[in-house]
């Protein structure tokens, strides 16, 4: 059974080392997907009284990165705590987990067959009750 850890990182720093440096402890099989960046400009008057021409602009850039790490189920706890301990200053991150399970075809057939048998038995019992009434 494989488990995927999906991480969405939002960085408010201009050049965050987490995006640039490959040696931050991410495994080599990590898939990085770049998400769209956004830029917000704030304009503020320098003086509260007059001089409207004198303004100051501030900028906030938000860079986003989507990381996908594939792991085995028994390694999941260890990798989660490693991610939790890592301090990514100037960034927000959201961690999502997804698991895929695959069952045997024989087991699937058995489950389907037993469910089908239960439905048939329920129908027969309803018919018997109706015929007795």
Nearest Cα neighbor of 12 from 67, 89, 83 is 89
- What per-residue confidence (pLDDT) applies to 18? 57
Is the domain of 108 the same as that of 98? no
> Helix, strand, or coil here: 29?
coil
- What per-residue confidence (pLDDT) applies to 104? 63
* Euclidean distance between CA atoms 52 and 112, whole angstroms: 75
Is the domain of 97 the same as that of 58? yes
Is the domain of 17 the same as that of 45? yes
Q: Which residues of the chain have a pLDDT value below 50? A: none
Contact predicate 95/80, CB 8 Å: yes
- What per-residue confidence (pLDDT) applies to 13? 65
Is the domain of 95 the same as that of 115? no
The range of the structural domain enclosing residue 76 comes to 2-102
- What per-residue confidence (pLDDT) applies to 74? 78
Q: Residue 84 belongs to a domain with what CATH number?
A: 3.30.70.600
């Amino acid at each position: 059974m494989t488990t995927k850890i999906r991480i969405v990182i939002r960085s408010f720093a201009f050049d965050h080392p987490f995006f640039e440096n490959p040696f931050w402890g991410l495994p080599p099989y990590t898939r990085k997907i770049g998400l769209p960046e956004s830029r917000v400009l704030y304009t503020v008057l320098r003086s509260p009284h007059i001089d409207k021409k004198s303004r100051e602009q501030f900028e906030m850039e938000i860079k986003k990165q989507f990381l996908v790490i594939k792991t085995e189920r028994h390694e999941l706890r260890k990798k989660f705590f490693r991610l939790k301990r890592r301090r990514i200053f100037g960034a927000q991150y959201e961690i999502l987990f997804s698991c895929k399970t695959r069952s045997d075809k024989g087991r699937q057939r058995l489950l389907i067959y037993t469910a089908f048998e239960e439905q048939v038995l329920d129908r027969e019992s309803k018919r018997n009750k109706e015929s007795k009434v």
